[in-house]
Amino acid sequence: MTVYAVSNPATGEFVQDYPTATTAAVEAAVNSTARAYETWRYSAIADRVSLLRRVAELYATRRDALAATITREMGKTLSQARLEVDLVVSIYTYYADNGPKFLQDEVLDVVGGGSAVVRKEGLGPIFGIMPWNYPYYQVARFAAPNLMNGNTILLKHAPQCPESALAIEQIFRDADAPDGAYVNVFATNDQAAQIIADRRVQGVSLTGSERAGAIVAEIAGRNLKKVVLELGGSDAFVVLESADIPHAVEQAVLGRFGNAGQACNAAKRFIVTEGVYDDFLAQFATAVSAIEVGDPRLAETFMGPMSSVGAVDGLAEQVEDAIGKGATVVVGGARLEQPGAWYQPTILTGVTPEMRAYSEELFGPVAVVHRVASDDEAVELANASVYGLGAAIQATDLAAAERMAERLQVGMVTVNAASGTSAELPFGGVKRSGIGRELGKYGMEEFVNTKLLRIAAMTN
């Protein structure tokens, strides 16, 4: 059963629950977005730009309150929560600034004479199913380009994020969005399946687990609906012999332990060439040991709790499986014994294929470090995953880094930084990490009707 409720992961205390939508409420939500589309699809581009700018301004104005909400809901540290709101502001601003040019007609050369253009138009209501780990950012990168396209938005947020879900809807209301342009619905999973199948809904975007993505894709496929799926990742962080080790360690800590390791594109598998392995591991262990896990409400806290006790349980089982089969704990390796959802920053070595931690995504503050003998072995190990979201390469030899980047089976490669995100950069992966792209101009191209308008040459 789907339960929308806030339980503070820092304390374990229940805060409040929210009723799931009735059948009538779901029907009203779908109908509202469908009606709004019939007007919004014909709205002036300037009006769409104005809406996105007002939304950005309201996020900026409400930054501290919005940040405090997700700190309470899912444990993100206050400093990182504020940065998330800043990122959201940049996304809405980016599409306000650049959306008009992405929608411009493309003139084609016509062999048979006459003229032709390709015009990009909205499709209709688009259903978004969003996760808890970045409650504002995930919604923004879905909603902003689609509203710019002339689509309308129906949003099912994660059950543990009802307060941020309502805060987002209120921002659109206060920004004077047309009724039905953005609608939040506390739907159950069964109701979500019905929404996907509804003939009025023209597409679905999900960010979540591989399992959830498979279910959504199956339902969408049966109903011939376009999908964008941003799913799991087990991103490789490759340290080559030419790497600046102190810099690589700094980026490794940020890439693995930011947001308590709960990011699809977080660095998860650290693949280190043997010439620098000992140096990297020693410095990495020192840095991770120095992480002070603490109250997420304090501005100076880098790492707080995980999102829920259930998330801690799952991560602990994966680590215990690895330890039981011979993995070495370099740092951490256990829960913090206190109320709430706390786990120690952890480094494991000696992880082998029979261990769950070798092939499964570790969605929490656990780093697995592998030693490899060569760049070729690094590529082989990096690609030996069902996932293909992103990767990071640390090297001062940029030519070697680019050669390796060409061989990695992923959607995104970052050199000399941890994998990250920015409004103008496309985000997405290959293999079991998903389908489609978000952000940048590519985020404008997923849910559009690429319509051809041809005017034939007249002959007498």
* Per annotation, catalytic residue among 230, 361, 438, 446: 230
* CA gap 332, 188 in Å, rounded: 37
Tell me the pairing of strands 412-415 and 390-394: parallel
Distances (CA, A) of 372 to 131, 240, 375: 35, 10, 8
Rounded CA separation 214/47 (Å)? 37
The CA distance from 43 to 80, in Å, is: 36
Catalytic residue among 161, 264, 438, 446, which?
Answer: 264
Task: Reply yes or no on whether 264 is catalytic.
Answer: yes
Rg (CA), the chain: 23
- Whether 56 and 94 have beta carbons less than 8 Å apart is answered as no
Dihedral sign (CA 319, 321, 327, 328): positive
Give the list of residues 6+ apart from residue 249 with CB closer than 8 angstroms, or none.
280, 283, 284, 287
CA nearest to 429, candidates 410, 405, 413, 451: 410
Look up 161 and say whether it is catalytic. no
Contact 7, 308 (CB under 8 A): yes
Q: Is 86 exposed, middle or buried (0-12, 13-18, 19+ CB in 10 A)?
A: middle
Q: For residue 246, give Cα distances in angstroms to 211, 282, 366, 399, 452.
A: 38, 11, 20, 21, 54
Specify which residues 391 forms β-bridges with: 236, 413
Question: Whole-angstrom Cα distance, residue 29 to residue 186?
Answer: 10
For every residue of 272-306, DSSP letters joined together read EEHHHHHHHHHHHHHHHHT--B--TTSTT-SB---
- Positions annotated as catalytic residues are 230, 264
